[in-house]
Amino acid sequence: MASSAPGGVVIVGSGLIGRSWAMLFASGGFKVKLYDIEQQQITNALETIRKDLKSLEEAGSLKGSLSVEEQVSLISGCSSLQEAVEGAVHIQECVPENLELKKKIFAQLDSIVDDKVVLSSSSSCLLPSKLFASLVHVRQCLVAHPVNPPYFVPLVELVPHPETAPATVDRTHALLQKIGQCPVRLLKEVDGFALNRLQYAVISEAWRLVEDGVVSPTDLDLVMSEGLGTRYAFIGPLETMHLNAEGMSNYCDRYSEGMKRVLKTFGPIPEFSRDTVEKVNQAMCTKVPDDPEHLEARRQWRDKCLMQLSKLKRQMQPQ
């Protein structure tokens, strides 16, 4: 039996993201209770987690220092929310992205938790001010938004409610670092958080370039996967500026006028309308037909690549 870290973690909702969180917390030695409204989902989750951990071990990508059996033994299912939260230090909500459903869950949790446990939502885009409005334990609440697949993409955006206690963010930050994730703090909430705002900015300009006939959809994707993206796997856009000149001030001196000139030519928000959707869809389907088998095979290939990349990133310690 593995010796677990003090305090347990509760996962509410044992779908795709709930399972990933369970694996990550178990890899860090935490006892995990998986709760779901559907008993079958819990059964499936426990089964899938065991299989996934075994495959990860075979691929040399199992996280943490515990064996598969030790990690599996830390995760158990629980069909009572009340029982699940007893003695928990962290509760990670992972139910579908529906504001009313999530509000209902947090109201339920609010009525049964103590004054210490952290209440955290995996929401991709619901604002903390909406999710946690009028909860008694609002100081203990925040969004911890993972990126799919969380096992290989370590970023987690921590987004506070205006009334979230700084200690709640600090504790969650420390906890996520302990399980090998890379938490970042948003100092205040904003629609789309940081990751999706950046992603939408890229999608927006990608769409315009294709729509305006500047570049084909396939070549557009190469600009990112063979160009910007390879660099961005290791350094962000701001450090890129710093390194691409003699430091940031020098970069701005040299390139700010050019950047502003180009930025002024960015058009309005694309409509993502029919003709361009068809054009892009055709190109994407030539590469990856949009039936479930081809899409799943390509996702699995993507996850394999991300697995290898995460190994490489672990080897490449920052200088």
* Residues binding ligand NAI (CB under 6 A): 12-18, 36-38, 41, 94-97, 101, 105, 122-124, 145-146, 148
CB of 244 to ligand NAI, least distance (A): 31
CB of 156 to ligand NAI, least distance (A): 9
Query: Cα–Cα distance between 1 and 72 in angstroms, integer?
Result: 10
Residue among 4 and 122 whose Cβ is closer to ligand NAI: 122
Minimal CB distance residue for ligand NAI: 15
Cα 187 from Cα 17, distance rounded (Å): 24
Nearer to ligand NAI, 132 or 251 (CB): 132
**What phi, psi does 183 have (nearest 5°)?**
-75, 145
Residue 10's SS3 state is strand
Contact at 8 Å (CB) between 79 and 53?
no
Nearer to ligand NAI, 45 or 241 (CB): 45
Q: Which is nearer to ligand NAI, 2 or 189 (CB)?
A: 189
Collect all residues with Cβ–Cβ distance below 8 Å to 265 and sequence separation of at least 6. Answer: none
Nearest CB to ligand NAI, comparing residues 16 and 223:
16
Nearest residue (CB) to ligand NAI, 133 versus 259: 133
86: three-class secondary structure by DSSP: coil
Least distance from ligand NAI to the Cβ atom of residue 278, Å? 26
The H or E element that residue 104 is part of is: helix 99-110
> Which residues 6+ apart lie within 8 Å of 160 measured at CB?
128, 142, 143, 168, 169, 185, 186, 187, 188, 189
Rounded CA separation 17/303 (Å): 15
Residue 120 contacts residue 187 (beta carbons within 8 Å): no
Nearer to ligand NAI, 124 or 204 (CB): 124
Is 7 or 15 the residue whose CB approaches ligand NAI more closely? 15
Dump the DSSP string for 147-160.
Answer: -SSTTT--EEEEEE
Helix H or strand E segment including 222: helix 217-222
Instruction: Give least dist CB 23 to ligand NAI, A.
Output: 13
Q: Report the nearest approach of ligand NAI to the CB of residue 162 (Å).
A: 21
Nearest distance, CB of residue 150 and ligand NAI, angstroms = 7
Q: How far is the CB of 40 from ligand NAI (least distance, A)?
A: 9
Dist CA 22 CA 4 (whole Å): 14
Q: What is the closest distance, in whole angstroms, from the C-beta atom of residue 62 to ligand NAI in the complex?
A: 22
- The HSE-up count of residue 120 (CA atoms within 13 Å, CB side) is 29
Which CB sits closer to ligand NAI, 27 or 122?
122
Rounded Cα gap, residues 290 and 187, in angstroms: 39
CB of 41 vs ligand NAI, minimal distance in Å:
4
